[in-house]
C-alpha cells in the first residue's frame, strides 16, 4: 500500500484547525489512511488502498481533511474553458513510441524547501506506482521562465541531439545517457528497443527532457525560490495523463499558484480530440438510484443528508430527481466508476460510527460447495502424480495474457481503471500464471511439474454482470523430454481416478501450442479443455529454455 512522508510543519499550515495526534488518527479514516508515526517532525502515513492517488501529497491530504471537517470549500476556476496561453505541438513520429503528452504552467508561487520535497516525492510516487515505473507515466517539472513556447514533442535518432542532463556536467547524446546516466541505466529499457527516441524541446531548440529518462540541467533543475514552473507529463494513456495533470494543478493552486492552461495539438486522433486543453474538465457525472442506497446501507437517506455527506468528500452541488441522485465527480479523482463508489463516499462522509452493526436475524450452517469438494479430489490426484501446487492471483496483465501467449487482445475481462498495468485484467486461463512461475524457476532442478486449481473469469452476456466465474485445473511440466504423450497419460490417469470414462482427445490447434502437438479434450460435444506442447516462440517470450507441455480443464463441467 502507498506510504508517504509529510513534513508536520508544512501539513499544519495547510490544515485550517489544530489537530492532536489522536484526533488526526481518527480523521485520517476519511482518506482510508493510517498514521504510522511521527519522527523528526515528519508524519509517516500509509493508505489502505491504491485508488486515491490525489491524496498522496501534503496538499491533497489537507484538502480532503479540510473538506471533511467543513473548514473550506474548494473550487478550481482553471477547469472552465479559457484561452490557453501555452502550447505543445506533437510530432506524428512519437505515436508509435510514446504517444501522449500534456502540461500546464504555474506562476505567482515561491517554492520552499518543504514544497520542493513534496513535489519530488509526489513525482516519484505517481511515476513509480500509478505510472508503472515510468513506463506509462513520467513527470517533468521545469523553470517556466527559461522556456520559449510553443514546446515541441518529437522523435529523433539517439545521436541527433546533445544536452547536459540533470545531475551531470557534460553534454551527452541520448544513447550515451542510457549507458552512463543512473536514470538512463534504470529506465532505459522503456525506449531502448526503439529506432527513434522521444525528446521535448522549446521553440529555440533548448532541450527540456528526454522522457521518460531525465530532464535537462539548464531548464529542468527546479530550486527553492523559483516563482514559476512548467509541468509536463508523457505516457501511454491520455486519460491517466490528464488525471495526473489535474491532480498536480489542484495541488499547486491550493498553495496559491496561478494555473496557466495549455493546449496540446496532436497530428492524430485521440479519445479527447486532436486539440486537448490542460487542465482538462472531465465533467464526469454519475446517477445513483435511491433504492441502491437502501440495498447497500439499509435505508434511503434524506436529500440534505446525502448532499452534506458528499460535500465532505469533495462533490459539488449534487442534483436530485424523484428517485435518484446525480452528481459530478471531482476532476482529480478517477475512482468513481459505479453508484456503489458514490454510496461508499456517502458512508465515509457520514462517518462509519453512524451505522450501527446488526446481528444476523437468521441462523444458517455453512458447508463446502460441490465444486470445492470436487476440486479437493482433483488436487489429491494431481499431487499423487508428482505435481506441486501453486496459488496465483486471478488478476494479471495484458502483456502476460495477450502478447506472451500469442492471443489477440480483448478476450479477457479487462479492468476499466487499473492502478497498475501489472494487474489490468482478470485471467480466463491458468496457463499464463504457470508459465510466469516457471519463468523465474530456471535455477531449480528439473523436472518442473506444477499445477493450480483456481478461478478464471470469462465473458458471458447471459449472466447478471456479463461475466462468469469458473474453476479450472492447469497443469505444467518442463524437462528435456517433456512431450504430448506425457501430458496425455497424466490426463488419462486423472480421469481414471475421478471415475470419468466418457471423454475423447482429438487433435485441435491452440494459438500458443505447437501445431500437430495439441488436442482438445471432449465429453460428447462439450469441450472440457486442451493439452499440448508449448510452442518454442512462446517459451522464448517467457524466457523459458526447456521444453514444456501443458493442459487446462474446466472442472465445473466435470461436476456431476
- Residue by residue, pLDDT tens for the chain (560 residues) are 788 888 998 899 899 999 888 899 899 999 999 999 888 889 999 998 878 889 998 999 999 999 999 999 899 999 887 788 899 999 999 999 999 999 999 999 888 888 888 888 888 888 887 777 888 899 999 999 999 999 999 999 999 999 999 989 899 999 999 999 999 999 998 988 888 999 999 999 999 999 999 999 989 888 888 899 999 999 998 999 999 999 999 999 999 999 999 999 999 999 999 999 999 999 888 999 999 999 998 889 999 999 999 999 999 888 898 899 999 999 998 888 889 999 999 999 998 888 888 887 888 888 889 999 999 999 999 999 999 999 999 999 888 998 899 888 888 888 877 766 778 899 999 999 999 999 999 889 999 999 999 999 998 888 777 889 999 999 999 999 999 999 999 999 999 999 998 899 999 999 999 999 999 999 988 999 999 999 999 999 999 999 999 999 999 999 86
Same domain, 111 and 148: yes
Domain count across the chain: 4
Same domain, 273 and 297: no
Query: Alpha carbon of 351 to those of 270, 313, 358, 369, 427: distances in Å?
Result: 41, 11, 17, 37, 36
For the record, the C-alpha cell of 455 comes out as 478461478
For the record, the C-alpha cell of 7 comes out as 513534513
Instruction: DSSP for 21-36, please give it.
Output: HHHHHHHGGGGTEEEE
Within 69-149, residue ranges assigned H as helices are 113-125
Same domain, 420 and 553: yes
pLDDT of residue 552: 97
Same domain, 91 and 240: yes
Q: Which residues pair with 153 in a beta bridge?
A: 90, 200
Other Cβ atoms less than 10 A from the Cβ of 60: the count is 24
For the record, the C-alpha cell of 109 comes out as 508561487
In a domain, 127, yes or no: yes
Domain containing residue 488: CATH number:
3.30.930.10
With contact defined as beta carbons under 8 Å apart, do 457 and 430 qualify? no
For the record, the C-alpha cell of 480 comes out as 528435456
In a domain, 429, yes or no: yes
Same domain, 260 and 296: no
pLDDT of residue 61: 94
Dihedral of alpha carbons 446, 423, 536, 533, sign: positive
Same domain, 14 and 60: yes
Same domain, 182 and 94: yes
* Residue-range definition of the domain harbouring residue 379: 370-557
- Which of 68, 94, 119 finishes a domain? 68
Same domain, 312 and 208: no
Burial 115-146 (b: 16+ CB within 10 A, else e): bbbbbebbbebbbebbbbbbbbbbbbbbbbeb
381 sits in which H/E element: helix 370-384
In a domain, 357, yes or no: no
Question: Smallest Cα–Cα separation from 210: which of 171, 248, 267, 163?
Answer: 163
Question: Smallest Cα–Cα separation from 390: which of 329, 458, 441, 328?
Answer: 441
Domain containing residue 181: CATH number:
3.50.40.10
In a domain, 101, yes or no: yes
pLDDT of residue 313: 92
For the record, the C-alpha cell of 108 comes out as 505567482
C-alpha 241/C-alpha 250 separation (Å) is 14
Same domain, 407 and 465: yes
pLDDT of residue 385: 95
C-alpha 201/C-alpha 211 separation (Å) is 11
- Which of 15, 36, 68 finishes a domain? 68
In a domain, 360, yes or no: no
Same domain, 381 and 488: yes
The rounded Cα 156 to chain-centroid distance in angstroms is 29
C-alpha 16/C-alpha 64 separation (Å) is 12
Domain containing residue 29: CATH number:
3.30.56.10
In a domain, 359, yes or no: no
Q: pTM for the complete prediction?
A: 0.76
C-alpha 307/C-alpha 326 separation (Å) is 11
Burial 299-335 (b: 16+ CB within 10 A, else e): ebbeeeebbebbbbbbbeebeeeeeebebbbbbbbbb
Same domain, 271 and 324: no
Query: Alpha carbon of 206 to those of 150, 172, 197, 402: distances in Å?
Result: 12, 14, 16, 40
- Which of 258, 278, 298 finishes a domain? 278
In a domain, 313, yes or no: yes
pLDDT of residue 560: 65
C-alpha 122/C-alpha 110 separation (Å) is 18
In a domain, 423, yes or no: yes
pLDDT of residue 398: 87
Same domain, 265 and 327: no
SS3 of 212-247: the string is CCEEEHHHHCCCCCCCCEEEEEEECCHHHHHHHHHH
Amino acid at each position: 500500500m502507498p506510504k508517504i512522508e509529510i513534513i508536520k510543519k508544512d501539513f499544519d499550515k495547510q490544515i485550517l484547525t489544530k489537530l492532536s495526534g489522536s484526533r488526526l488518527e481518527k480523521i485520517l479514516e476519511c482518506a482510508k489512511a493510517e498514521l504510522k508515526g511521527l519522527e523528526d517532525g515528519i508524519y509517516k502515513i500509509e493508505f489502505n488502498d491504491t485508488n486515491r492517488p490525489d491524496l498522496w501529497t501534503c496538499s491533497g491530504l489537507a484538502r480532503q481533511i479540510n473538506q471533511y471537517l467543513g473548514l473550506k470549500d474548494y473550487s478550481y476556476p482553471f477547469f472552465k474553458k479559457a484561452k490557453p496561453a501555452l502550447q505543445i505541438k506533437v510530432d506524428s513520429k512519437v505515436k508509435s513510441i510514446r504517444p501522449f503528452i500534456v502540461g500546464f504552467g504555474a506562476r505567482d508561487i515561491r517554492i520552499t524547501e518543504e514544497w520542493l520535497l513534496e513535489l519530488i516525492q509526489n513525482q516519484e510516487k505517481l511515476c513509480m506506482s500509478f505510472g508503472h515505473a515510468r513506463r506509462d507515466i513520467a513527470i517533468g517539472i521545469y523553470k517556466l521562465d527559461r522556456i520559449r513556447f510553443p514546446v515541441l514533442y518529437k522523435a529523433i535518432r539517439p545521436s541527433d541531439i546533445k544536452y547536459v542532463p540533470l545531475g551531470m556536467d557534460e553534454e551527452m547524446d541520448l544513447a550515451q545517457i542510457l549507458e552512463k546516466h543512473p536514470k538512463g541505466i534504470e529506465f532505459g529499457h522503456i525506449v531502448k528497443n526503439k529506432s527513434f527516441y522521444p525528446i521535448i524541446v522549446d521553440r529555440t531548440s533548448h532541450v527540456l527532457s528526454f522522457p521518460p529518462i531525465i530532464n535537462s540541467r539548464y531548464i529542468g533543475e527546479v530550486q527553492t525560490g523559483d516563482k514559476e514552473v512548467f509541468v509536463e507529463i508523457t505516457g501511454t494513456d491520455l486519460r491517466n495523463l490528464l488525471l495526473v495533470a489535474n491532480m498536480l494543478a489542484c495541488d499547486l493552486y491550493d498553495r496559491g499558484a496561478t494555473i496557466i492552461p495549455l493546449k496540446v495539438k496532436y497530428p492524430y486522433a485521440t479519445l479527447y480530440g486532436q486539440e486537448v486543453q490542460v487542465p482538462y474538465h472531465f465533467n464526469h457525472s454519475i446517477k445513483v438510484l435511491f433504492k441502491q442506497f437502501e440495498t447497500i446501507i439499509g435505508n434511503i437517506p434524506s436529500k440534505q443528508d446525502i448532499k452534506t455527506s458528499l460535500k465532505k468528500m469533495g462533490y459539488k452541488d449534487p442534483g436530485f430527481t424523484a428517485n435518484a441522485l446525480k452528481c459530478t465527480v471531482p476532476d482529480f479523482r478517477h475512482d468513481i466508476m459505479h453508484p456503489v463508489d458514490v454510496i461508499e463516499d456517502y458512508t465515509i462522509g457520514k462517518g462509519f460510527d453512524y451505522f450501527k452493526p446488526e446481528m444476523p436475524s437468521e441462523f444458517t450452517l455453512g458447508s463446502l460447495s460441490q465444486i470445492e469438494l470436487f476440486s479437493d479430489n482433483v488436487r489429491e490426484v494431481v499431487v499423487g502424480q508428482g505435481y506441486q501446487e501453486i496459488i496465483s492471483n486471478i488478476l494479471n496483465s495484458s502483456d502476460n495474457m495477450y502478447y506472451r501467449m500469442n492471443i489477440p487482445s480483448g478476450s479477457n475481462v479487462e479492468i476499466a481503471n487499473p492502478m497498475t498495468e501489472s494487474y489490468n485484467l482478470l485471467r480466463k486461463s491458468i496457463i499464463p500464471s504457470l508459465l510466469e512461475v516457471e519463468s523465474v524457476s530456471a535455477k531449480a532442478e528439473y523436472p518442473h511439474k506444477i499445477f493450480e486449481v483456481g478461478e478464471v473469469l470469462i465473458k458471458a452476456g447471459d449472466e447478471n454482470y456479463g461475466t462468469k466465474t469458473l474453476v479450472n485445473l492447469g497443469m505444467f511440466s518442463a524437462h528435456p523430454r517433456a512431450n504430448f504423450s506425457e501430458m496425455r497419460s497424466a490426463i488419462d490417469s486423472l480421469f481414471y481416478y475421478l471415475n470419468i470414462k466418457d471423454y475423447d482427445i482429438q487433435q485441435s490447434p491452440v494459438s500458443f501450442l505447437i501445431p500437430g502437438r495439441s488436442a482438445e479434450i471432449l465429453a460428447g460435444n462439450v469441450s472440457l479443455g486442451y493439452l499440448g506442447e508449448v510452442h518454442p516462440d512462446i517459451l522464448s517470450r517467457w524466457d523459458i529454455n526447456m521444453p514444456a507441455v501443458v493442459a487446462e480443464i474446466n472442472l465445473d463441467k466435470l461436476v456431476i
